[in-house]
């Protein structure tokens, strides 16, 4: 079977600027739980945008599910959770209304069907906020809001779940619960997870693999093999 994500010989730089990434080779198999970490400005978000087909490399190739990333038509196969700073949590929507929005790409011109409603209910229950389904999103804690947006991403039953700095502004205890939830979803659903963050401490013991990015991939392996310097919080924020 093709890899879920594959970058081969990739180089990238924004127009008129210096290279952001050089010589990137990365393969993620279906069902893996991978953290992509590194300092701010190191290129991890750029790598993510390349992997999703949102940017095109200067050199090399990027494939999703075996197809050129920019040409994948069934985008519902990808569940995406943006950075918290990009998520509007002040809208007067309930948890269920937020999660319903994750299903509408499958029914862009029609009403939700029974199977859609079942998928929505399942996603809400799976992340443990069924009791909050009718509550306005803005009345939830930061950790609960993140669960709601995870449910939204899961509603379309994606094959790949991508999270970009998902725990920014969330306290350490909520981050720990969030990491445990992701491992549970990975195990129960078999969904491939890419977790992008400049801080990986919250998920380090839950992931199977960490990819460190600093202008290229400087480490790719199990958390236990990380160079000691990457455990220094001051370095992670560099």
Q: Where are the domains of the chain?
A: 5-236
Residues 122-129: contacts with CB under 8 Å, at least 24 apart = 123/99, 123/151, 123/152, 123/154, 123/155, 124/95, 124/96, 124/99, 124/151, 126/151, 126/154, 126/185, 126/188, 127/151, 127/154, 127/181, 127/185, 128/181, 129/95
Would you give the end-to-end CA distance of the chain in angstroms?
38
3-state secondary structure of 210: strand
Range 134-159 average pLDDT: 90
Range 177-202 average pLDDT: 88
Cβ atoms within 10 Å, residue 78 = 22
237 pLDDT band, cuts 50/70/90, is very low
Q: CATH 3.40.50.300: does it fit domain 5-236?
A: yes
Separation between Cα atoms, residue 150 and residue 128, nearest integer Å:
11
Q: Lowest mean pLDDT: which of 138-147, 150-159, 196-205, 206-215?
A: 196-205
Query: Sign of the C-alpha dihedral, residues 33, 39, 42, 43?
Result: positive
pLDDT, tens only, 35-93: 998 888 899 989 999 999 999 999 999 999 999 999 988 888 999 887 754 455 566 78
Q: Which residues pair with 79 in a beta bridge?
A: 161
Task: Give the strand order in the sheet containing 78-81.
Answer: 78-81, 160-164, 192-197, 33-37, 209-213, 217-221
Q: Are strands 192-197 and 5-12 parallel, antiparallel or unpaired?
A: unpaired
pLDDT, tens only, 80-114: 887 754 455 566 789 999 999 888 878 767 788 99
pLDDT of residue 230: 53
Cα–Cα nearest to 101, from 159, 52, 146, 155: 155
3-state secondary structure of 12: strand
Range 200-204 average pLDDT: 72
pLDDT of residue 91: 64
3-state secondary structure of 176: helix
Summary mean pLDDT of the chain: 86
pTM of the model: 0.87
């Amino acid at each position: 079977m093709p890899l879920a994500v594959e970058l081969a010989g990739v180089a990238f730089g924004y127009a008129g600027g210096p290279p952001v990434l050089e010589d990137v080779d990365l393969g993620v198999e279906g069902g893996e739980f991978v953290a992509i970490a590194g300092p701010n400005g190191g290129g991890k978000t750029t790598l993510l945008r390349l992997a999703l087909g949102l940017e095109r490399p200067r050199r090399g190739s990027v494939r999703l599910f075996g197809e050129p990333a920019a040409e994948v038509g069934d985008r519902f196969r990808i569940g995406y959770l943006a950075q918290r700073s990009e998520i509007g949590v002040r809208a007067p929507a309930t948890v269920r209304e937020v999660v319903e929005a994750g299903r509408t790409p499958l029914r862009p011109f029609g009403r939700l069907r029974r199977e859609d409603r079942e998928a929505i209910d399942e996603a809400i229950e799976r992340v443990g906020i069924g009791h909050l389904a009718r509550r306005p999103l803005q009345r939830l804690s930061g950790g609960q809001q993140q669960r709601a947006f995870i449910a939204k991403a899961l509603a379309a039953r994606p094959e790949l779940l991508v999270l970009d700095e998902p725990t920014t502004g969330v306290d350490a205890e909520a981050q720990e619960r969030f990491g445990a939830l992701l491992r549970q979803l990975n195990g129960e659903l078999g969904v491939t997870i890419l977790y992008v963050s400049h801080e990986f401490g919250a998920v380090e013991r839950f992931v199977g693999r960490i990819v460190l990015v600093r202008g290229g991939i400087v480490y790719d392996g199990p958390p236990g093999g990380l160079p000691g310097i990457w455990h220094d919080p001051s370095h992670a924020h560099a």
